[in-house]
Each structure stands twice: as structure tokens, then as C-alpha cells.
Structure 1
Amino acid sequence: MIFDLPRCMPDLSDNAAMDSTWGAALIALAGVFVGGGISLFGIMWQQRRNEEAANTNRRTSQREASLDSIKQVLFAILRHGESVPNQRTSASEHLAWELTLKEHLTRVEMDALRLDAPELRAVLREMSLLLNDWYELAPMAWPHEVVNAATRHAIECVGAGLRGEPLPPQGPEIQRLYEARAVRDDYERTAEEETRRAER
């Protein structure tokens, strides 16, 4: 019996062509997925960079706005210091002047909360504390000296912050205010101890 070989043997050329077609299709599909993944990753990465840049710009704008507001209030305090009360000032005028000063200091403290520079916040806090003691440091530091020195140092520090420069060191005027406050604190502490001993 003679077999018809062409009819019995499978057509290998058709299978090879089919495998080649499937292989090409799979490669193309893989390329689509890889390309799509890379494209999606690129979009997400760019979106994240845009969000970070927007957040940075927003923080910078808020910081500059806060510093500008603080600077304006400090100049207002400096002008307010030109009419600092003295011994001839009435009690009502003295109280009104101090209330205005405290309103200015409250604005400075509120604006300082939005600053991201801890050193500058600390300086503004210290100068505010000195200004709160404006009439308690005499005779080592008279009221107009306290207001003028503390406010000017705060203005210098805010200016450095706006320019992105290091904060200026404390001058002898500020050191004098600290010394006056230390003397005041020692005096109050001694007075309290004497009062307690007298009450025993």
C-alpha cells in the first residue's frame, strides 16, 4: 500500500506562519502595555512634580506675605514708640498706648506662626517679650530705648529673612535689654522671698 505523503503529513509551513503571527501579536501587545505603563508613570511623575512645585510656590508666597505683614506692623510699632508714655502721661493715656502696642504684638505673633524658619520665629518671640516689658526695665533701659532697640532688631531680622540671608547678631543694645530684664527678675524674686519670710 502506497501512502500519499503529502496528504498524511501536516503542513508545517502553516503552523510556523501561525506561530509567527501569534508571536508578533504578543510582542505588539506587550509593547502596548509597556509603553502605556511608561507613559502613565511619566504622567504621574510630572503631575507629582507640578504639585510639589505648586506647594513650594504657595509656601513661599505665604512666607513672603507674612514677613511683609510683620515688617509693616513693626514699623507701626516704631512710629508708636515716638509717643511712648512718660511720668507725666495720664493713666488712661498710658493704658491706651499699651493696649495699642499689645494689638500690634498680637498681629506679629499671629503672622509669625506661618513662618517656616524656627530661628526667625524665636527672634520675633524674644523681641515681643522684651516689648511687653517696655516699662519694667527702667532705669537700666528706659521705655523708649526698649521699644526702639527691640523693634529695630526685629526689623533687621525680618529684612534678612526676606532676602534669604542669615539673621544679624544681637547688638549691644539688645544685650543691655536682656541684662535689664535679668536685674528686674532678680529684684522680683528677692522681693517675693522677703515677702514669704515676713509672712511666716
Structure 2
Amino acid sequence: MDASVWVGAVFGLVGTVVGGGLSVWASVVAQRQQAAHARKERRRARTSTAIEAALTELFEVQRDARRAGPMDSARERQLHERVLNVRVLLQHVPDAALRSRVQEDTFLMPLDPPGDTRTKQERRADIMLLSADAIACLGAYLRGEPLPPRADRVTAVRALWPLPDFGSDADPVVIFEGDD
């Protein structure tokens, strides 16, 4: 056999091995990218589902606050449960600013600050406003918009509390309800 035949056979064999190796490598890279994309989509779906469930709870808070009648212990307990559900659902939200803002709003809903002089109707209206602020924030996140500015009344309700930073993940604050 001639040397050119051997050289051609070696180059053909090397080309086949290199081509096969590159094909396997490209398949592995594509599979990793697909797996990462699938994880990202699952995370996004979990986040959207959690936000939609939190929105449902917040709309129920608004509906309960609009309902006539005294704010008895059963309604207060239900408000606490709804707020707790929202706070648990927010743990699926990756945006820290959104999570902090909604947690602050929900933190303010069920509790009365020390020395609170608001009437029951003002307190119910404030619960609706806080809920509306949280709903607006969650809706803006779902639409991919920036967080809306706080309403003046929400800022005023927040100012009733003597604590400078509460409701966020950074420093948990424990506040107990007074025994009546």
C-alpha cells in the first residue's frame, strides 16, 4: 500500500473521532441548557402560582374588610390566617424588594400600633388600602413592571408604628397582641 492511502485512512479516522466527539459534546451542552431552562421555567411557574394564590388571599382580605359588621374575634382570626398564608406564599418570590414591600403591608393589617386612635372604620379602610397596595405590587411584578409608589395613606399607616424597619426578611420583629 502506498503512503498516501495510509495518510488518507488516518485522517479519515481522526476526522471521524473528532466529529463524533464534538457531536457528543454538543449534545451534552444542549441537554444542560435545556435542563437549566426547564428549571428556570418551573421556578417561574411556582412563583406565578404563589403570587396568584397570594392575590386571591389579599382579595379575600379586602372583601372581608368591606363586609358590614363588627370586627369580632372570628374575623380577626381569619385576617391573621390570610396574612400568614400570604407571607408563606411570598417565600416563593425571588424579588426581595417586592417580598419586603408586601410583607410590610401584610404585617400592618392585623395589628394595632401602640396608642392607636383610629376608629374601627378607619382601621378597616386602612386594611383595604394596605391590601390594595400589596395587590398593586404583586400585579406589577406579574406584568414585569416596576413597583408602584406607595400611596400617601399607606405611608401614614406605616408611620403609626414606632419601628423603623419591620416586616422584611432582614430582622424579624416579634410583636404580640395585647390581652383585652
Aligned AA (1:181): W
The structure having more radius of gyration, on CA atoms, is 1
| DSSP-derived class of the 2:41 partner | helix
Q: TM-score, normalised by structure 1?
A: 0.73
Letter of the 1:119 partner, please give it: A
**2: distance between equivalents of 1:137 and 1:101?**
21
* Equivalent position amino acid for 1:123 in 2: R
Aligned-residue Cα RMSD (Å) equals: 2.1
- Larger RCO, structure (CA 8 Å, separation 6 or more): 2
Give unpaired runs (5+ residues) of structure 1: 1-13, 184-200
Q: Kindly indicate whether the alpha-carbon contact (under 8 Å) linking 1:84 and 1:97 is maintained by their aligned counterparts in 2.
A: no
1:54 maps to which of 38, 41, 44: 38
Identity level (%): 25
Indicate the residue corresponding to 1:172 in structure 2: 152
- Structure (1 or 2) with the greater helix fraction: 1
Among 116, 124, 127, the residue aligned to 1:138: 116
One-letter code aligned to 1:79: R
User: How far apart are residue 52 of structure 1 and its match?
Assistant: 1.8
Q: Which residue of 2 aligns with 1:110?
A: 88
2:74: which partner in 1? 96
TM-score (norm 2): 0.81
Residue 160, structure 1, aligned to residue 132, structure 2: no
Q: Distance in 2 between matches of 1:124 and 1:175?
A: 13
The answer to whether residue 54 in structure 2 is matched with residue 74 in structure 1 is: no
Q: Which residue of 2 aligns with 1:43?
A: 27
Q: Separation in 1 of the partners of 2:133 and 2:55?
A: 11
- The whole-number CA distance in structure 2 between the counterparts of 1:26 and 1:113 is 60
